[in-house]
Amino acid sequence: MIEILVYLFENYLPDTCPPAGVLAQKLTAAGFESDDISEALSWMDGLAGAQQSVFAAPSATAVRIYDVEEQERLSAECRGFISFLEQCGALDAPLREAVIERALALPDDEISLDRFKVVVLAMIWRTRREVDALVLEELLAEDADEADWDGSEEVTRILLN
């Protein structure tokens, strides 16, 4: 599913995606499996709900405490990255909550930092937030030992233009 999200970043940023039916056909033509397409489209539908719930999230002065499930599924690296993004001003409290909700919607037992970064990119893309170029570089940086996806150079080029 993450590969499909990266494909969408590479092929549809900064434009919007076509309707779900058309997108499913395009993804099938691109060689993705129907189960993965269904899962990705369902996850993308959740982005709309997460975007709407951004307005009901906690205030900027709220302190975030992770429950047991969140601590088990979001690695310490992911939680540290959330803190980094908040300190840089790339995430506010409402967007942080939406990012966490969408990350926990992934089927992974533990979400790697690389996969988490894709979720953050998806939320920033969906909410059309502007992000400092240095923060964006950090978002797109890959750990060579743990890279889950390729194409970050293309995504960087698209997002910075």
What residue spans define the domains of the chain?
Answer: 2-160
- Which one has a higher pLDDT value, 124 or 161? 124
Give burial (CB, 10 Å; 0-12/13-18/19+) of 60: exposed
Specify the 3-state DSSP secondary structure of 111: strand
Quote the CA–CA distance of 79 and 85 in Å, as a whole number: 10
Q: What is the pLDDT of residues 113-122, one digit of tens each?
A: 988 988 888 8
Identify the pLDDT of residue 75.
93
User: Measuring CA to CA, which residue among 94, 18, 9, 13 is closest to residue 51?
Assistant: 94
Any idea which residue has 């996806």 for tokens?
Answer: 149
Which value, in Å, is the radius of gyration of the alpha carbons in the chain? Answer: 15
Q: What is the pLDDT of residues 6-43, one digit of tens each?
A: 787 777 754 567 777 888 888 888 899 988 888 888 87
Any idea which residue has 């540290």 for tokens?
Answer: 80
Identify the pLDDT of residue 18.
76
In this prediction the pTM is 0.60
CA 106-51-40 angle, 5° bins: 35
Is the N-terminal amide bond of 14 cis, ω within 30° of 0?
yes
β-strand partners of 111: 74
